[in-house]
Amino acid sequence: MTKTTQPDPSLPTLRLGTRASALAVAQSQQIADRITALTGHAVELVRITTHGDVTRASLSSLGGTGVFAMALRDALLAGECDFVVHSLKDLPTAPCPGLTIAAIPERADARDTLCGRDGHTLQSLREGARVGTGSPRRVAQLRALRPDLVIEDIRGNIDTRLGRIRLTDSAALDAVVLAAAGLTRLGRTEDISEYLELTSWPSAPGQGALAIETREDSPVVSIVSVLDHPLTRMGATAERAVLRALEAGCAAPVGVSTIPDQEKPAGAFDVVATVYALDGSSALSVSGQLPSAADAAPGEGLVEAVSAAERLGSDLAAKLLGLGAAELAPLGPNRG
């Protein structure tokens, strides 16, 4: 979508609230440009700083990313901006009163990647190599495939994490696991040495997708809804419904991905949900078929298809719980 439309000066400028991180600014600017191209509205980025009364202690005890989403939501509710762009995978599954997800644009690559020093892949890393990730899901997936690896808990933004494979001191890592979508939005795909396929390495619910949130009574709802992509909304809804029905947080070792079904006609998608033991020694996996993409037309059909996707997600979670998922892994939302 490279149509370059000048903003129409007779239309109001929309204020897009964004966090200051490189990824947040990059994805907000990309959405701003598409909205201007499609609607003619100028879009101005407004930096939202996380409130000074949020201490380091409360940040970590609240679980990190949910707090950042909340800072943007507070700014929306306070009228400091007209809409915000979240990484869908970082957005808590509980709806926020007064706000609505007005659009879920077409998903980027949902896969995780390995960014290895000297182009190493998961198979080619030396025995005992040091790999960084802060996600319990990725830890379990790494341990399942390469129990010999030494896994380091790393935090921080994408640049900081990538930097660890360029170091030469004791903090150096041989590889880090990062989402393809974030690297693509930041123009850092040259650091990717391997794409981890969703069939063997499901990623986080909603990974690769963005969510555009507005106040529910705002005229901006219908303006930004031009970017909604029904199939992405259906898949992401099913994926997030699994997490919600498991009562699991974004830190639970759970992978859920929507994958094209090779055996069915084009347009058929399977939702695959996997819960891992933290040490990677075992996993439980279930799958089900997403309602037909043909129903994903705007209007009544879409509303029904999205609620069917939601039911599919809760059914998959019920199956996982029936198989013993809660005994296999800590699912609670309050893990760090």
Ligand X SMILES: NCc1[nH]cc(CCC(=O)O)c1CC(=O)O
* SS3 assignment, position 58: helix
Cβ contact 306:298 at 8 Å: no
Residue nearest to ligand X (CB): 182
What tokens appear for 4 in the block? 């370059």
Q: Considering the rule CB under 6 A, would residue 19 count as an interface residue with ligand X? A: no
Q: Considering the rule CB under 6 A, would residue 207 count as an interface residue with ligand X? A: yes
For the bound state, the minimum distance from the C-beta of residue 228 to ligand X, rounded and expressed in Å, comes to 17
Q: Torsion angle, CA of 224/227/231/236, rounded to 10 degrees? A: -60
For the bound state, the minimum distance from the C-beta of residue 177 to ligand X, rounded and expressed in Å, comes to 7
Rounded to 10 deg, the angle between the 230-245 and 300-322 helix axes is: 30
Question: Quick one: which of 116, 132, 208, 255 contacts ligand X (CB under 6 A)?
Answer: 208
Task: Return the closest-CA partner of residue 5 out of 28, 55, 39.
Answer: 39
Instruction: Mark 110-149 with x for binding to ligand X (rule: CB under 6 A) and - for no binding.
Output: ----------------------------------------
Contacting ligand X within 145-204 (CB under 6 A) = 158, 178-179, 181-182
Q: Torsion angle, CA of 191/34/109/136, rounded to 10 degrees? A: 80
Q: Considering the rule CB under 6 A, would residue 258 count as an interface residue with ligand X? A: no
Between 125 and 181, whose beta carbon lies closer to ligand X? Answer: 181
Distance CA 76, CA 98 (A): 10
Instruction: Mark 210-249 with x for binding to ligand X (rule: CB under 6 A) and - for no binding.
Output: ----------------------------------------
Return the half-sphere exposure (C-beta side, CA atoms, 13 A cut-off) of residue 314: 7
Applying CB under 6 A, which residues contact ligand X?
A: 65, 87, 89-90, 158, 178-179, 181-182, 207-208
